[in-house]
Amino acid sequence: MSEALKLLIPPEDIRAAVRRLARELRKDYAGKNPVFVCVLKGAFMFFSDLMRAIRADFEVDFVQAASYQGKSRSPEVVIKKDVLSDINGRDVVIVDGIIDSGLTVQKLIGHLNAKGASSIRLCALLLREGGAKGLTVDYVGARIEKGFVVGYGMDYRERYSGLPGIYVIVSGE
């Protein structure tokens, strides 16, 4: 069955959000050398654009966590790929494409704290309204309502990640 997609955030609005977030991060981490940790796979396009826009001294790393099977949330978050950097005593910024319930980033925060990060902040292109209860998301590109989103790196069953905008799936399976 094919899904119908509705444009939620056009590419030009994404670019504006990336520039704004880069300015905030550049200001907050001036003179520091943070480790920016990309949450794979959904954040890879956002992360790439954000890192180019920051234009400052930083280190990058990657982590992969799984909490979805198709459009259904799994009850357990599994870390499939860990960071390689030594983050002990370092400032860490977790960069995610979307923070929904917050379960994935909560797991990552605990995991990175156990590795000795001196501070951990969250940066998300998208934050689901009413989601991430109990979490402070320090840098937010846009707030969205319910609906399964794809595009700009985020996929549904390995499809749609190459779309330049962000779309909501309005019908399908």
Q: Is residue 171 part of a domain?
A: no
Query: Active-site residue 100, yes or no?
Result: yes
Identity of residue 4: A
Query: How far, CA to CA in Å, does 110 sit from each of 31, 113, 115, 138, 161?
Result: 26, 5, 9, 17, 28
Assess if residue 59 is contained within a domain.
yes
Give the model's pLDDT for residue 68: 56
**pLDDT computed for residue 86 by the predictor:** 96
Predicted confidence (pLDDT) per residue in 39-51, tens digit: 999 999 999 999 9
Of 49, 91, 96, 100, the catalytic one is 100
Q: How confident is the model at residue 63, as a pLDDT?
A: 97
Domain range for 105 is: 11-147
Give how many domains the chain has, as a whole number.
1
Tens digits of residue pLDDT in 4-16: 999 999 999 999 9
172 falls within a domain: no
Q: Does residue 147 register a pLDDT over 80?
A: yes
Question: Does 38 fall in a domain?
Answer: yes
In a domain, 156, yes or no: no
- Domain CATH code at residue 20: 3.40.50.2020
pLDDT class of 57 with cuts at 50, 70, 90 = confident
Closest by CA to 108, choosing from 51, 161, 66, is: 66
The 10s digit of each residue's pLDDT in 63-112 is: 998 875 555 555 688 899 999 999 999 999 999 999 988 888 999 999 99
pLDDT score of 1: 44
Helix (H) or strand (E) holding 74: strand 72-81
Residue 76 resides in a domain: yes
pTM higher than 0.75:
yes
pLDDT band at 153 (very low <50, low <70, confident <90, very high): very high
Kindly state the DSSP code that residue 4 receives in the 8-state scheme.
E
Is residue 159 situated within a structural domain?
A: no
Q: Is residue 167 part of a domain?
A: no
More confident residue, 134 or 125: 125
